[in-house]
Structure 1
Amino acid sequence: MSGDEERGPADQRGLTEQRRLTEQRGLADWLPARLAAVAPSVTVIGDVMLDGWWSGSIDRLCREAPAPVVDITRRMFAPGGAANTAMNLAALGAKVRVAGLVGCDDAGMELRRQLRAAGVNTSHLHEHPDMVTTSKIRISSAGQVLLRFDDVTGKVPSDALAALALSLPAAVRGQDAVVVCDYGTGALQGPVRSALLEMLSSRDASQLAVVDAHDPRPWAGMRPDLATPNAAEAARLLGIQLTSGSDRPAVMAARRDELIDATGARAVVVTLDRDGTLLLPGTGDSHRTWARPATEKQASGAGDTFVAALTLARAATLPLSTSVDLAQAAADVVVHHPGTSVCSTADLTRHLASFADTALSADELARHIQADRAEGRRIVLTNGCFDVLHRGHTRYLNQAKQLGDILVVALNSDASVRRLKGPDRPINSVADRAGVIAALSCVDYVTVFDTPTPIPLIEKLRPEIYAKGGDYTPEMLAETEAVERFGGTVTILDYVPDLSTTAVVQRIRNGEGAEVGEAPVN
């Protein structure tokens, strides 16, 4: 399923209203709470585990070997793997079931306890006396992970797999979405895989299927809606090696058809850790997100958070590119939290709201740009009103970002918009416009200008690239001379003639929904 095609039985009401609200108020004000209110039902099936984070101080070496002695002062446990995906879904408001295998041990009891406390249905989480619950314990001191030891069942008993396979029809029936989390620890082999492939390959079109697997190829016959390999996993699918200097997004984009064929998915989202993600739909435009990484911390599970938020947004019928942007924001939240953590509705709301009032003064911006340029980064500047955000805007801004390393968006002030567009504009104040634009992962800095042209700002920032959208040529722009005087280049980006803010605003004022036959928004 692609574009804005709606799914049931998730809440079918109000996709048009969602669009109107997005256009009028911005993502930060309403979207996380709205998704929580829709509360899609999701089953997560796969390799559940328990993550441990033990920390302490080091004051001595042990006598029998030159190894540090860690005096443990703190032990923390959190659901990991498929269980972490389920925890994140529940924290974001989904109704969640988890299906998997655990042992009859303390780790299994703790895992089940935490899942239940979070509101996750564990009736399809099967125990077996001949298994150990997969556990990954990290030992750290002074913020540095020193060691991780894993406890994993060598061979999953056949009767455990049979029991899980028998319970899958009940676990999947009537759910809005199914997430398959295959990390290779054995819960999804044999009869479990066969049952899932049979059920989900013939699923109702309204049921979303997402595959998050170290190797998505065994799940290609399921024809999932989404597959989410990381860059290394995607490289293995393609039979290539990525070097440290590889332009990973460009490599993946060039091999889109091969990734779609290998995964069997309608769309592939390649996660690129500190470089964000790349959405590759089977048809239509690709879409990038850019991460806002933390400094190195003891954090794990951002990929699980990404998959959870992506699944929730798609199950609630949000457009695919919007869903990926939202998932990137959720992942950005958890990388700033230590340990294995989740992003809740409140966390996501605060994160998106934090981009309000983030416009920098020209002088502040110049100081940031000076530091970025000193590190070898190329600066891209663009400008506009960006009053009511639509697909043409986001496509244009993603293209602009890919011209360099740092994207600066200069917004026309409210007075400037009135001079350009008339007394009824802008619809949104410059503070609201700045907050929405700054929340886009492709945007690094936002500033505001009130002059007739951005030439004074160009002279202060001296961007390597000045990007402009529309049916212009560089010769038509007054800014071209200033850009080229400082060695910069003017680039004209794709023009989408059938999309305009004026038309969107008129539809809203007329109380109209999307036009019948309108092209889907990816």
Structure 2
Amino acid sequence: MSESPESIDLSTQRALSDWLPGRLAAEQPSILVIGDVMLDGWWSGSIERLCREAPAPVVDIQSRESVPGGAANTAMNLAALGAKVSVAGIVGSDDAGEDLRGQLAAAGIDVQHLHTHPDMVTTTKIRISSGGQVMLRLDDAARTVPAGALAALAASVRAAVERQDAVLVCDYGTGVVADPVRTALAGVLGPDAAGGNRPLVVVDAHDPRPWAAVRPDLVTPNAQETARLLDRKLPEGQERVEAVAAESAALLQETGARAVVVTLDRDGTVLLMPDGVRHRTWARPAAEKQASGAGDTFVAALTLARAAGLPLTASLDLAQSAADVVVHQPGTSVCSTAQLSRYLEAFADTALTGDELERQIEVHRAQGQRIVLTNGCFDVLHSGHTRYLNQAKQLGDILVVALNSDDSVRRLKGPGRPINNMADRAAVVAALSCVDYVTVFDTPTATPLIRRLRPEVYAKGGDYTPEMLAETPAVEEYGGRVAILDYVAERSTTAVVKRIRDGEGAVPTN
């Protein structure tokens, strides 16, 4: 009998499942979002003529929508995912500020630390589009933030941070969280701050270097921001990932963070940590459309998951899934608990038949993409699995995971296995962003599947050698390569199951 979601210890949860968003929402962590709130406008209409004054199109506006943007959109995403959210920032005593405050409050967000100042201009970004194409963006913002408004926000920092599980700083360069606000936050959150119950601190900033004194737990620079931090141009694709990973020490030092998550838009994300741990996520991008705010959704979901106790790598996978949800929606959008659950639930029936998989592989190969195949039981997913699958993905472009059928697992492991049936195992593995396709095989080895798919790379865990594998001759027949990847000691499923049955605790980390 499987455990109910309510009884599962989130700190040990490695896999994504459709019940997980609801479980995180039930934790309802308290999270403060402080930073550059703004109002996004989306105006659309038709174009039938050019104006007389210049060769410019005339857009006859047919619809107007205003939604929270920037830090306010991050707060809206957190609220939609179940967090108890407070916002701290500065708006003007103008229509945009009133609209923004009203929408945040209507979403159940605490706005008592959202300060209004008569000399402040609420930041707005209005996009004008026609036929699904953005034609123009109009930005309006304060040239300088009034000193009185900054002083008021700085004075409220300690009260705003009190009793929060996490603090998310959104610094997009408008000056709202510059000094004296940053100094006040450093005094409350920095390593020299009084008290030992510091909340999780996440910094999403165009330039995270000024926040190094706070010693953030996480910073989330995008590719352009990372390039500026390194003072170099980054290449594209996998080379960009490798270039970022090679600068891990420099990025950690520059930002003062305990971990750096570099977001690479269509290429997903890469996690960098002082102990050398790396983790990749892979985006499932939509066709180009009027979408905005996926980065806000990503950092919101990441912060929520970490504040609720989910491991960092699983939190990244969850955040990537949330971002994948919103890139398929027009405008500045949010990802709700229900939407994220439905997205993850869709992986439940993703195991392809051999014929279906072969057709998909032919399409990818025609596009010049390299296929990587690996196989195994993947019964109780653990960190060894996720690290191994991340490594396998980086050997090519498309990762196919072939799962042993339930009968096959029983033949290999004994009558007490599998712990999870084939449908559950397929859903969990397919939900990992590094996995492109899942299939099931019932043969003693993966040799028949290898001969059918002819992957460029066949990957297995490092507790094997190529000579030990029955599949190696089949791979070598057509000139493929067998890759042996790292094996993580004490992270086998058999060891995990034995500890559970023996009533033992988790393996201690060094």
For normalisation by structure 2, the TM-score amounts to 0.96
Of residues 359-368 and 498-507 in structure 1, the stretch that sits farther from structure 2 once superposed is 498-507
2:9 aligns with 17
CA contact (8 A) 1:32 1:92 kept: yes
Q: In 2, Cα distance between the equivalents of 1:100 and 1:252?
A: 32
Q: Is 1:283 the counterpart of 2:272 in the alignment?
A: no
Contact 1:291 1:328 in 2 (8 A): yes
Deviations 1:283-323 (A, max 9, x none): 24110000011111111111111111111111112111111
Matched, 1:495 2:484: no
Structure 1 stretch 388-397 or stretch 497-506: which is displaced more? Answer: 497-506
SS at 2:64 equivalent: strand
In structure 2, runs of 5+ residues without a counterpart are none
The alignment status of 1:122 with 2:111, answered yes or no, reads yes
Alignment pair present for 1:113 and 2:102 = yes
Shift in CA distance, 403/49, structure 1 to aligned 2, threshold 3 Å:
same
Choose the corresponding residue for 1:410, options 387, 397, 402. 402
Checking the alignment, whether the CA contact within 8 Å between 1:104 and 1:129 is kept in structure 2 is yes
Where does residue 498 of structure 2 map in the other structure? 506
Distance (whole Å) between structure 1 residues aligned to residue 237 and residue 316 of structure 2: 25
> Residues 357 and 432 of structure 1 are in contact (CA less than 8 Å); yes or no, is this contact kept in structure 2?
no
- Secondary structure at the aligned position of 2:213 is classed as helix
CA distance in structure 1 between the aligned counterparts of 2:163 and 2:372, rounded to whole angstroms: 48
Secondary structure at the aligned position of 1:354 is classed as: helix
Q: 2:140 aligns with which of 123, 127, 151?
A: 151
Output the CA distance in 1 between the equivalents of 2:197 and 2:282.
31
Is the partner of 1:247 in helix, strand or coil? Answer: helix
Shift of 1:512: 4.0
Report if the CA contact (8 A) 1:15-1:317 is conserved. Answer: no
- For residue 291 of structure 1, give the secondary structure of its aligned residue in structure 2: coil
Structure 2 Cα separation of the partners of residues 450 and 334 of structure 1: 37
Q: CA deviation at 1:206?
A: 4.0
1:503 Cα deviation from its structure 2 partner: 2.2
Shift of 1:470: 3.6
Q: Distance in 2 between matches of 1:58 and 1:387?
A: 56
**Distance across 1 between alignment mates of 2:124 and 2:417:** 57
Matched ranges for 1:384-399 at <5 A: 384-399=376-391
- Paired AA for residue 114 in structure 1: Q
1:30 to 14, 19, 22: 19
TM-superposition CA deviations, 1:26-71 (whole Å, max 9, x none): 5324211111111111111100000111111111111221111111
Instruction: Note if contact 1:83-1:115 (Cα within 8 Å) is conserved in structure 2.
Output: yes
Deviation sequence 1:352-376 (CA, Å, 0-9, x none) = 1110010111111111111111111
What letter is aligned with 2:493? T
Percent of aligned pairs with the same residue? 72
Distance 1:207 1:384 in 2: 39
Task: Give the Å deviation of 1:482.
Answer: 0.9
Asked whether the 8 Å contact 2:6–2:23 carries over to 1, the reply is: no
Q: Distance in 1 between matches of 2:487 and 2:105?
A: 51
Residue in structure 2 matched with residue 6 of structure 1 by the alignment: none
- In structure 2, the residue matched to 1:166 is 155
| Amino acid in structure 2 at the alignment position of 1:37 | A
Aligned to 1:8: none
Superposition deviation, residue 495 in structure 1? 1.4
Relative to 1, partners in 2 of residues 1:317 and 1:154: Cα closer, same or farther, differing over 3 Å? same
Give the counterpart of 2:167 among 164, 174, 178: 178
Paired with 1:497 and 1:301, the residues of 2 have a C-alpha distance of 40
What is the correspondence of 1:368-517 to structure 2 with a 5 Å cutoff? Answer: 368-515=360-507
Is 1:72 equivalent to 2:61 in the alignment? Answer: yes
CA shift, 1:434, in A, is 0.6
User: In 1, distance between residues paired with 2:492 and 2:160?
Assistant: 45
| Structure-2 separation of matches of 1:506 and 1:329 | 32
Matching residue of 1:60 = 49
TM-score, structure 1 length as denominator? 0.94
Q: C-alpha distance in 1, partners of 2:444/2:498?
A: 26
Deviations 1:175-228 (A, max 9, x none): 111111100012112211221122211343541111100000010011010010
TM-superposition CA deviations, 1:103-128 (whole Å, max 9, x none): 11111111111101111100011111
CA RMSD of aligned residues (A): 1.6
Residues 392-422 of structure 1 show CA distances to partners (whole Å, capped at 9, x for unaligned) of 1111101100111100000111111111111
Matches within 5 A, 1:318-329: 318-329=310-321
Structure 1 residues 111-260: aligned runs within 5 Å: 111-201=100-190, 202-203=192-193, 204-244=196-236, 247-260=239-252
Whether 1:519 and 2:493 are equivalent positions in the alignment is no
CA 1:17–1:190 in 2, change beyond 3 Å: closer, same or farther?
closer
3-state DSSP of counterpart to 1:179: strand
